[in-house]
Chains A and B, each alone.
Chain A
Amino acid sequence: MSIAHSFFPYKILVSSSPFLFECWTTHSLQDLRQQAPIAAKVFVQRDYTSGTICQFQTKFPATLETRIDKQQFEDTIRKLNSLYAEAEKLGGRSYLEGCLACLTAYTVFLCMETHYEKVLKKIASYIQDQNDKIYAPRGLLLTDPIERGLRVVEITVFEDRSTGPGR
């Protein structure tokens, strides 16, 4: 579980994680070699107008203009925003979690997943689903923002050979 990592053994993992991360990245890039070449990457930035809550901008990037419908893109981003809002919601569930954690001297994190992590899993499956159904057929690939520290939604645009390079 996640909290197990947050104790001392995790710290050692953190120290070597940049190196490991590169390995993982390389590995995933090798997987992509069988795919179409990457034409561009679009980064959808965070929307900070409401503070530090996790929201992404729904503005439609220019590069995707010829690749996907604006509405679909906005729907995806809005859904992501709503999921993140649900994850960060301050309510009964988060109170309960906090109280339980306090009472058990935080050992509950060893056995239980936090609310945020549960929603993150939901988000990951949503993104996977969107990729399968909508984005991959259009030569796009969404990257889970958690891999970028919830700073950007990275959309990889694959080269569409049928229309020529560089679109």
Chain B
Amino acid sequence: MPGIVGKTFKPTTFIPVSSAATLLVGSTTLFFVFTCPWLTRTISPAVPLYNGIVFVFVLANFGMATFMDSGVFPRATEEEEDKEDDFRAPLYKNVEVKGIQVRMKWCASCRFYRPPRCSHCSVCDHCVEDFDHHCPWVNNCIGRRNYRYFFLFLLSLSIHMVGVFSFGLLFVMHHLERLEALQTTVTLAVMCVSGLFFIPVGGLTGFHMVLVVRGRTTNEQVTGKFKGGVNPFSRGCWGNTEYVLCSPLAPRYMVPPKKQPLISIQPPFLQPELSDGQMTFMFRDNGKSDAFWTKSKASLDVITLAPRPDFGEDCEPKPGLAESEGLSAQALFKYQAPFGSVSKVQYCAAGEQVTISGHHTASASLDGVPRDQDYFSEPDLDLPDCRNQLAPWALRSSLLQLDSCSLHSRSLSLRESHQYRDQLQALPCKPEDSAPHSSASTPGMLYSRNGSLSYDSLLHPSPNTLTMMDCLVHTGPPSLRCRLPFQPTNQLSAWLPELPCPVLVSRHSPHLKNPSPVCYDSLPKTVMASIQERRETEDERQLQVQSHFQPQPDPGVYHTPHLHSPHPGPCYSGGPGATKSQSPTPPIFGSRDSLIGFGGRVPQLHSSASRSSMTSETSATSMTSVHTDTSGSGAQAPAKPLH
């Protein structure tokens, strides 16, 4: 029974559970003492036996519901957090569960992104897996591990109450002439208690029976998560019931780590064999391998600048169309760059393909990535393994966020691009595959998370905007002007309007101090600055584009209205005035650190914290669940529990 966990001891938390226990045990004892003897004599000894068994069952389940660990997550370790990011990490991360976008929220206290169905209990101050509710009558959270016992407790208690009431009524009916006798009086009192409490208990039992059959938790039901939508966690009526009642008992997470036998780890270490021509460049791992990144960047420079036989004649510089194609392609190739987590948001709508026309218009392709490569709370940037995929590779949504410095260094492996060329030529365009798919509908929306990619900046390069061409012209050696490994076709070009993801071209300029409403996990400051700078101009265009492409609110999308706000709720509305707002467009969502009201880790970036906007109802699409960066001012600060 939490109530003494890390906090001051509050005796009042034990009042409901004590009174519940007292009532239960007391009433049943009185029943057994005063009513059962007559029943045994008159009807059968089976009566007290039956009642006894039911009562034992009630007690056992009550005890389990009260004392069992409900599935508490241990706090995340320090290393799990991305401390090296310059930019505030997003408050929400999206993950696809059986085709439906589910939002994972950052828990400021526990320092991790809450798994789906997990919620933080403010009373107990921990995150609970498959959080149902906090029950004051057992003074415990009801979660994955003890929900079954709680449900069985309710069921058995209802049955017990019905039994006690019925047998009590039988007794009273036969002792009407002696109502003032002690036994009769006590039986009447017990009947009153059980009859009275049967109303709420029975109601709750019925409510939970519905929840069990529907495969929902109380938390989800009350917050209306699946209002009019599809519950991705449901396994069907029978499956849900089976899962609740018959699933194996889940393990406890709050166990002391076992003492492992020490493994001596000393260099020299074995190295994996690299195959010839394998030049897959992986970038950025959770922001922790910057050194690696830097080093490989240099090596990449060496590699990519050299002409390659793979490209053959394709590498001949061709002016005009070819050049722009090549540059666009280069831009595509270099999508991943160091923008780690940004690239994580990729949506694999089958059939969506890259379209690159000869006019700087580039767009993201989503195909080819396995569907399980959705958002990771620990972003990992790597290039899709085209060697193993037949489809054209999936370019992440951060595809065209280019760091001009990296344009020539973060090219894909040439072997892969060669392969891609072959594959693309073999593959027809499949427009029908982009049919509404809950994840397919969202990718475009999610692009906005990764950057305001504006078509227009590509279609109509402004004088202020360096296009990819410009970037490449400035920074790319002639050998980079390779032709695209594939030819854009009319069919492909037709895709262009389908893609709601505008393309951002980074500007080769020092970062600006404008706030970034869109959050990236680890973008270089230069890129972020350019994104910031372009945001105002692209906002309207983006809105237009997005409204055009915005799908109907996906009923399946699992979004959380802020009815049931976690403990940081008060923090949202309060919002210290410390954060400076420099962006004309307040971000939609706050960053996770804004939960604790601290400034961001990046002193350079100052963005408004739209805490009020965080409580606003957002559309069901993932686009709006895309985080926006609300990094406030200030230095990196440790998280402080809000409650």
Contact = CB atoms under 8 A, between A and B. Distances in A.
Contacts of A149: 73-74, 129, 253
B252 A6 contact: yes
Interface string B1-26: 11011100000000000000000000
B251 A60 contact: no
Interface size class of B (residues with CB under 8 A): 35 or more
B252 A5 contact: yes
B245 interface: yes
Given A18-B75, A42-B286, A65-B280, A146 B255 contact: yes
Interface string A140-167: 0100101111111010001111100111
B112 A151 contact: yes
A83 B380 CA distance: 25
B182 interface: no
A67 interface: yes
A128 B72 CA distance: 25
Contacts of B261: 128
Contacts of B629: none
B260 to A, nearest CB: 7
B247 A90 contact: yes
Contacts of A80: none
A63 B290 CA distance: 10
A66 B285 CA distance: 12
Contacts of A31: 262
Contacts of B130: 52
A141 B72 CA distance: 25
A54 to B, nearest CB: 9
Contacts of B5: 14-15
A65 B381 CA distance: 12
Contacts of A94: 246-248
A62 B282 contact: yes
Contacts of B69: 6, 10, 14
Nearest to B243: A90
Contact of A52 (B117, B254, B376): B117
Contact of B288 (A40, A69, A90): A40
A6 B271 contact: no
B272 interface: yes
Contact of B372 (A7, A57, A137, A158): A57
A151 to B, nearest CB: 6
Given A15-B5, A148-B74, A47 B248 contact: no
B375 to A, nearest CB: 9
A136 B263 CA distance: 7
A88 B248 contact: yes
A43 B67 contact: no
Contacts of A11: 1-2, 4, 67
B284 interface: yes
A167 B293 CA distance: 9
A41 B377 contact: no
Interface string B361-378: 000000000011110111
Contact of A45 (B262, B263, B377): B377
B524 interface: no
B443 to A, nearest CB: 15
B253 A42 contact: no
Interface string B227-270: 00000110000000011011111111111111011111111111
Q: Could you tell me the dominant secondary structure of chain B's interface residues? A: loop
A132 B263 contact: yes
A69 B593 CA distance: 36
Interface in A26-41: 28, 31, 34-36, 39-41
B280 A25 contact: no
Contacts of B486: none
Given A62-B289, A132-B263, A149-B74, A15 B117 contact: no
Given A11-B67, A98-B246, A124-B258, A63 B288 contact: yes
Interface in A49-86: 49-52, 57-63, 65-69
A48 B117 CA distance: 11
A20 interface: yes
Contact of B248 (A6, A24, A50, A114): A114
B455 to A, nearest CB: 30
Interface stretch (B76-84, B166-174, B541-549): B76-84
A50 B260 CA distance: 32
B64 A106 contact: yes
A139 B272 CA distance: 12
Interface string B84-96: 0000000000011
Nearest to B79: A41
A144 B256 CA distance: 12
Contacts of A116: 248-251
B220 interface: no
A128 to B, nearest CB: 7
Contact of B98 (A49, A62, A144): A49
A167 B95 CA distance: 32
Given A98-B245, A149-B253, A152-B80, A48 B267 contact: no
Contacts of B60: 105-106
B285 A40 contact: yes
Contacts of A24: 256-257
B382 interface: yes
Given A59-B380, A105-B60, A160-B268, A114 B249 contact: yes
B284 A62 contact: yes
A35 B265 contact: yes
B115 A62 contact: no
Contacts of B249: 97, 101, 109, 114, 116
B6 A18 contact: yes
Contacts of A161: 267
Nearest to B124: A14
B2 A14 contact: yes
B2 A51 contact: no
Contact of A139 (B56, B267, B372): B267
A63 B292 contact: yes
Nearest to A19: B6
B286 to A, nearest CB: 6
A51 B68 CA distance: 24
Interface of A: 2, 5-8, 10-12, 14-15, 17-18, 20-21, 24-25, 28, 31, 34-36, 39-43, 45-52, 57-63, 65-69, 87-90, 93-95, 97-98, 101-102, 105-106, 109, 114-117, 120, 124, 128, 131-132, 136-139, 141, 144, 146-152, 154, 158-162, 165-167
Given A17-B254, A66-B292, A148-B77, 8 more contacts: A7-B67, A10-B69, A67-B272, A90-B242, A101-B249, A154-B80, A159-B267, A166-B291
Please name the 6 residue pairs, one residue from A and one from B, whose CB atoms are nearest each other, closest first.
Answer: A166-B291, A62-B282, A63-B285, A139-B269, A105-B60, A149-B253
23 contacts: A11-B1, A11-B4, A15-B2, A15-B4, A17-B254, A24-B256, A40-B285, A40-B289, A51-B233, A59-B372, A62-B289, A65-B280, A93-B248, A115-B248, A117-B251, A120-B251, A124-B258, A128-B261, A138-B270, A144-B258, A150-B253, A151-B73, A166-B289
